[in-house]
Structure 1
Amino acid sequence: MKTVILPVLFLFLAISAFAQPVYLFYYFKGNGEDGLHLAYSRDGYQWEALKNDQSFLTPTVSADKLMRDPCVIRGGDGKFHMVRTVSCKDKGIGYVSSDDLINWSEQQFIPVMQHEKGTRNTWAPEITYDAKSKTYLIYWATTIKGLFPETQSTADNSYNHRRYYTTTKDFKIFTDTKLLYDPGFNVIDAAIVKVGKKWVMFMKDETKEPVKKNLKMAFSKHLAGPYSKASEPITGNYWAEGPATLKINYQWIVYFDKYRDHKYGAITSKDLKTWTDVSTKISMPDEIWHG
C-alpha cells in the first residue's frame, strides 16, 4: 500500500488506497507509561482512536520508561522515525524506527544533553527532514542551570527553557548539540515545517510571570536557523502547548493541547498571518496529550 506523507511534524499519512486521504495522529495518554496511541481522520477535523485507544508500542528505555510527546516522520530512506520524551528529568531522548508502523526496531536512548552537567530536562523532541541536504534536524527544549538569567523565574519549578538541536543523516552519527533558538523568553514545544523556500517554527511561549502560555511563530531561510524574532501570539485567551500542523486544501491547521482545559484546540490560516479559531469544530479522542 503506497503512502504519501504530508508536511507535518506529528505525522499525518495520506493513504492512496482510500477514496480520500486518511490522516494519522500520534499522541500519548496519562503520563506516557503505556506508550504510543493513534487516531485517524478523513478531514482533519473529526478524529477517532484506533485499536480501542490501546497502545501500539510500549516504552522500554530510560529509568522512567515513558513515551511522551511522540513525533513520527517519514524519512528520506522510506522509514518511519520516532523521537519522544523518555523522562521529565533525563538528559536524552528516545528513538525508534519502523518500516510499516507495526513492527518497530529496538528502542534507543540518545544522550543529546549528557555533556551538560547543568541539564535539568530534555523535553518534547521533534524531527524535521531537509530533503535538499538529506539531513534530519532533531530539536527539543532544555533548561540548563544558570543560563539565560534575564528570563529566570521561580515559577513553574524555575524551568527556563531554550531550543537545542543535533543533526544526523542515519540516526547513528549525530553532530554536537547546539543552541537552535533563543527568542528572549522561556520557550518549549516547537514544530518546524517548510513553507515555500522558508521554514516556519511554531512554538510555545512558556512565560509564567507575566502569564503568556501561548503559541507564536518564527521564520528562517535555513532549517537550523537563524530564526526571526517571535511573532505576536496566534492563539487566544487560554493556555496552549504542543503545536502540530497540517495543510489541507491550501488551508493551514495548527493543532494544540489546551492542557488546562483537558481538550484539544485548533486554528486555521491561508497565509500564516490571519488566524481563525476552529476549536469547536474539531473532535479528538478523550484525555489525549501532546500529539
Structure 2
Amino acid sequence: MLKKNFFYAACLLLLGGCKAGKEVYMFTSFREPANEGLRLLYSKDAYHWKELNGVFLKPEVGSKIMRDPSIAQGPDGTYHLVWTSAWRGDNGFGYASSKDLVHWSEQQFIPVMKNEKDVVNVWAPELFYDDAQKQFVIVWASTIPFRFPKGVEEENNNHRLYYTTTKDFKIFSDTKLFFDPGFSAIDAVIVKEKKDQYIQVLKDNTRPNRNLKVAFANNALGPYSSASQPFTGNFIEGPSVVKKGDEWLIYFDVYQEKIYGAMKTKDFKTFTDITKEVSVPEGHKHGTIFMAKEKLVKQLEKRRK
C-alpha cells in the first residue's frame, strides 16, 4: 500500500496527476502547385493558426501531387491520410499512415473508381471514423459523364459524391453513391453532432453558386436530407469542421479573395461569420482539422527547425 501511495504521489508531482497530455488543434495543408506535399498548421484555440516548417510527406503515387490532404486517427492512435493525387486522369487517391506524422508507411494508390472506365476524376477524399460501426468512411467527388442530369454544368464537371468503407485500409467495400443532391457537388465533410445525428457539409459546385450547404442524417452513411440553403457567399470551397466548446467552427477557402473564411454555429442552422476573428497562414489550402497531443506538436517543431 505504501508503494502504491508513493507511486500515486509521484504521478501527481511529475505528470500532473497522470492525466492524458494536453491536446492542440492541427490542420492539414498543401500549397499550390501541389507538388511539394503535406504541410501542417497548429493552434491552441482553433482560431489562430501557425505553420510548422517543412514538408511532412512528399507524394509518390498517382500523378505525384497532393491536394486536399485529409487525416483521421484510428482507435489505436494511428493517423491515416488520404489525398487527391491528380486533377484528372486518376481513378483513385493516395493513402499513407503514421504514428507520429513524421515517419510514414509506404504510400499506396487506392483505385476506388477502377470499375468506372469513363470516370473523369477523383477529388478531395475525406476521412471520417464512424465509431458506431467501427470503420472509416471515405467520401470523394467524381464525374462520370451522362450518369446524372446535366443541369447547368458540362458533362465533364457534373460531380456526385461517392464512398467506400474500410476497417484496416487493406480491404475496402465496393464503391457506392454517397449523396446526389440534384446538382454538381464536391468537398463533402462528415461530422457527428451527437448520438444518431450526423452532418454533411458540402460544396454546391454549380455556376454561379459555388457555395457551402449542409444536410442531415441519422447514420454516417445516410440517407441524408435535401441540401440546405447556402450559409456562405459564392466562390467558396474546401470546408473544414471542428468542435470548439459547444460551438462548431467551419473553415473554408475564399479562393477569389485568396483568404480563409470561417463561420460558427451551434446547430448547423444558424451561422455567424467569424472571418475577422481567425488568422490562417497565407498560402494554406484545403485540409482537415484534427486533434493531437501538445507534446507531439513540440516534437514536430524541433524536427523541422
Q: Same fold (TM over 0.5)?
A: yes
**Mind listing any 5+ residue stretches in structure 2 that lack a counterpart?**
1-18, 288-305
Structure with a larger share of its residues in helix: 2
- The structural deviation recorded for 1:271 is 2.0
Runs of 4+ in 1 over 3 A off after TM superposition: 15-18
- CA deviation string 1:237-256 (max 9, x = no partner): x3111111111110110000
Match of 2:51 in 1: 49
Larger Rg computed on CA atoms: 2
- CA deviation string 1:222-270 (max 9, x = no partner): 111111100111113x311111111111011000011111110000012
Match of 2:241 in 1: 245
**CA 1:144–1:60 in structure 2 vs 1: closer, same or farther (change >3 Å)?**
same
Query: For residues 70 and 243 of structure 1, what CA distance do their matches in structure 2 show?
Result: 12
Secondary structure of the equivalent of 1:280?
helix
Query: For residues 112 and 150 of structure 1, what CA distance do their matches in structure 2 show?
Result: 23
- Superposed CA RMSD in Å reads 1.4
Query: For residues 131 and 60 of structure 1, what CA distance do their matches in structure 2 show?
Result: 31
Percent identity between the two aligned chains: 49
**Mind listing any 5+ residue stretches in structure 1 that lack a counterpart?**
1-14
Q: Larger RCO: Structure 1 or Structure 2 (Cα < 8 Å, ≥ 6 residues apart)? A: 2
Match of 1:193 in 2: 191
Query: For residues 16 and 102 of structure 1, what CA distance do their matches in structure 2 show?
Result: 22
Contact 2:202 2:214 in 1 (8 A): yes
Query: For residues 198 and 169 of structure 2, what CA distance do their matches in structure 1 show?
Result: 22
Contact 2:30 2:69 in 1 (8 A): yes
The equivalent position to 1:235 in structure 2, one of 232, 237, 241, is 232
Match of 1:6 in 2: none
Query: For residues 111 and 211 of structure 2, what CA distance do their matches in structure 1 show?
Result: 29
Match of 2:263 in 1: 267
Q: Spell out the pairing of 1:48-127 with structure 2 (5 A cutoff).
A: 48-51=50-53, 54-62=54-62, 64-89=63-88, 90-127=90-127
The equivalent position to 1:214 in structure 2, one of 198, 211, 214, is 211
Query: For residues 73 and 85 of structure 1, what CA distance do their matches in structure 2 show?
Result: 15
Match of 1:177 in 2: 175
Contact 2:153 2:184 in 1 (8 A): no
Query: For residues 99 and 46 of structure 1, what CA distance do their matches in structure 2 show?
Result: 25
Query: For residues 33 and 190 of structure 2, what CA distance do their matches in structure 1 show?
Result: 25
Query: For residues 142 and 156 of structure 2, what CA distance do their matches in structure 1 show?
Result: 12
- CA deviation string 1:141-189 (max 9, x = no partner): 00001111242523xx840000001111111011110000000010000
Query: For residues 82 and 55 of structure 2, what CA distance do their matches in structure 1 show?
Result: 16
Query: For residues 225 and 133 of structure 1, what CA distance do their matches in structure 2 show?
Result: 13
Query: For residues 80 and 42 of structure 2, what CA distance do their matches in structure 1 show?
Result: 19
TM-score, length of structure 2 as denominator length: 0.85
Q: How many residues align?
A: 267
